[in-house]
Structure 1
């Protein structure tokens, strides 16, 4: 196993990935200060056969686990992505490369034999994005990057050089978190070509683009509306966890933790299986409430959680980011109309930004503790 500390240039990681794709040692990319994750990967133990990359993650549960990905899975994802976007191109790495979304940007550029510029980690704004994008945008042929919704929002808010650079990309994959309808509309109005994606470490990054599975990927809906995925992009297991592997991979299908539905062959992700709030004996989907809030003019982002309550068991609570004044009564009325009375938030807090974890996912545990003060 080759441990690689992900730095600002990602040069060492690029070299290590090139070797791993060619049969070299498996790569374990790590961010500075991630000793807990490193130790959980047991680097002194033999690596599972066929592994090219180990993505160390705490996931939504906080339990460290290592997702095993083969060279074939990484290649299948990269090639299918290029086919969907319009052919091999030049890439800007703009998200942390220890996560699968960033790492796959490097893999795609390696397989395409093209330029991969890097946005330094840390603070993100339009000027920095434009500066990092400049060498990619000077190249001939397709130019791509991948962002999380928060980054896209900042580019749209900031305008100027950053937004001009975003417009110049032939496609921007949006991943790590759901892309709201409002954000899609803003991007389209601004002339930014985005491709919302759905996927995870276990699928070697996004495997469904704008609702349509990549070539070779199949999606079906199982019991309890669980999204099931099969295809050449799948993980072959979890590092030193045969129990988790057996639970997640069944008959060639990966059992995600998400609920969804297929509408005319397109996947709609409805939320996490564990995002159901039981309030007064009525089950409410947190994702459905979030969608209702997000559809209201002036609402930028929303996170809905269940808080413990003596009378109701749980109550629906919403942390909301707005642009301009929006009354709590408006929010509650929108939810009542779209979801029903049970989904109306009993607590609403307006915040400047939602706490994030990893590559750009909302940290729901932090919303509960930091925004609502529940420990």
Structure 2
């Protein structure tokens, strides 16, 4: 017997086993009317309503449905109401500019676009066959008004379930095709290694659009875990939600961890979640001192993972193990600072250039409409991560980044994309963009500029970039130089630009 693995399995199980359990507590403070508390039965009903609504719009199986939204119960529902019924969900970073979103819509061929109310003005600049502002005014058409059962589909686990756009080393993002099989195996493997169970409560500090919330919308749903939605990230508010809802697990970029650590000294009373919460961190390896503070100051378990959108994302996990019990806290933190050991079903290798390679059943199917990039990334039947590192004693450590991608606050920023925006300024002759170490953001987007002699200022260039790029991609620091270092053939030597900023660091990521 063969039964296809699909994302619908997770919600089907939750509705069957935990129909009356609270599935989601929606963000109470948002421009769209909050859905409040929904049971898993209600969540499943709204997912079916969404599927029936897409039937009514004539969206076929395989049709792309885009959503640009902060974390919300509506976005959570869409993972099942769209992908669970054979369409392809395109979750888009809400921080992107209209031009960037427009490119993704055009490239993906999305015929439905749903946007958060805060982003409603974008609809004047975007085109799709069907457009909606999420909220009470459109809930009936999108989620709750259907009186018919949605059409089924001939489920294939190899079908594309989500199309996730990620910044790379080119100016245009690539669409990562993740199949139902990819997402199913990532979610179950993640839950296994993280020790997830139905006594957990999950806080959505991680943006759900980011690699599908690392798969936790599926993991948590399939295990009947109550999910708490938070819209705006604030350290004190995270602590408050953990105390209010009895949160036991959250995923976070290093910048979010730092926000909680900054808020903790002003918290009255015992830090909530001590000896209960496990925080799963990825995006860039945090400093050993940060790991020590999470464990000592907050009393939380620190877990680190490594992966990419293209790997769904889980490749490795670093979690405390019994063999380290006799080590002192500093050595334990150093061990936890490694990218981690391969998770079940993952194989890791290092090629002759030092690049980390991976094989797994949840690596991407392809880059959308980009066979050349697909062939390059999957050459030799290995996924080429673009990261440099080592693999010793069963653990991966990331040493540098072969691709020119800056990870700032857990978000990928393409240096070439930022350079393109800078070079649009008439006074810029040359531009190089690098990441430099920053305690809060991990890496700070930094521009090194050669001008034509004009009276150009840092503020001028940052303002210029804001008209072309999402705010988080814009340089936070600008340095003016007479010339950029190049080889005899004219190739830019970024390692020479990075060198003074990274002196004293053992690895070229932060």
Contact 1:259 1:272 in 2 (8 A): yes
SS at match of 2:353: helix
Partners of 1:169 and 1:61 lie apart in 2 by 42
Tell me the equivalent position of 2:114.
none
Tell me the equivalent position of 1:40.
107
Q: Which has the higher strand share?
A: 1
What is the CA deviation profile of residues 321-371 of structure 1, one whole-angstrom value per residue up to 9, with x for unaligned ones?
Answer: xxxxxxxxxx96x46xx69xxx9xxxxxxxxxxxxxxxxx99xxxxxxxxx
Partners of 1:9 and 1:310 lie apart in 2 by 44
Change over 3 Å in CA distance of 1:237–1:317 after alignment to 2 = closer
Which stretch has the larger CA shift, 32-41 or 199-208? 32-41
Candidates 65, 82, 92, aligned match of 2:174: 65
RMSD of equivalent CA atoms? 3.6
**2:284 is aligned with 1:177:** yes
Contact 1:30 1:38 in 2 (8 A): no
Partners of 2:281 and 2:262 lie apart in 1 by 16
SS at match of 1:77: helix
Contact 1:197 1:207 in 2 (8 A): yes
Change over 3 Å in CA distance of 1:101–1:179 after alignment to 2 = farther
Partners of 2:389 and 2:246 lie apart in 1 by 37
Candidates 350, 359, 363, aligned match of 1:230: 359
Tell me the equivalent position of 1:346.
none
**2:220 is aligned with 1:109:** yes
Contact 2:201 2:249 in 1 (8 A): yes
TM-score by length of 1: 0.70
Partners of 2:160 and 2:240 lie apart in 1 by 36
What is the CA deviation profile of residues 152-207 of structure 1, one whole-angstrom value per residue up to 9, with x for unaligned ones?
Answer: 01111211449924646532110122222222122122222121111011110232
Contact 2:304 2:317 in 1 (8 A): yes
Q: Which has the higher contact order (CA 8 A, sep 6+)?
A: 2
Candidates 67, 78, 94, aligned match of 2:187: 78
Q: Unaligned 5+ residue runs, structure 1?
A: 277-285, 321-330, 344-360, 363-375
SS at match of 1:97: coil
Q: When the two structures are aligned, how many residues end up with a matched partner?
A: 305
Contact 2:356 2:389 in 1 (8 A): yes
Q: Which of 1 and 2 has greater Rg?
A: 2
Contact 1:8 1:118 in 2 (8 A): no
SS at match of 1:220: strand
Tell me the equivalent position of 1:98.
209
Partners of 2:484 and 2:367 lie apart in 1 by 41
SS at match of 1:178: coil
Q: CA deviation at 1:9?
A: 4.9
Which stretch has the larger CA shift, 157-166 or 172-181? 157-166
Tell me the equivalent position of 1:156.
261
Partners of 1:62 and 1:120 lie apart in 2 by 29
Q: Unaligned 5+ residue runs, structure 2?
A: 1-62, 112-156, 319-339, 406-433, 449-480, 487-492
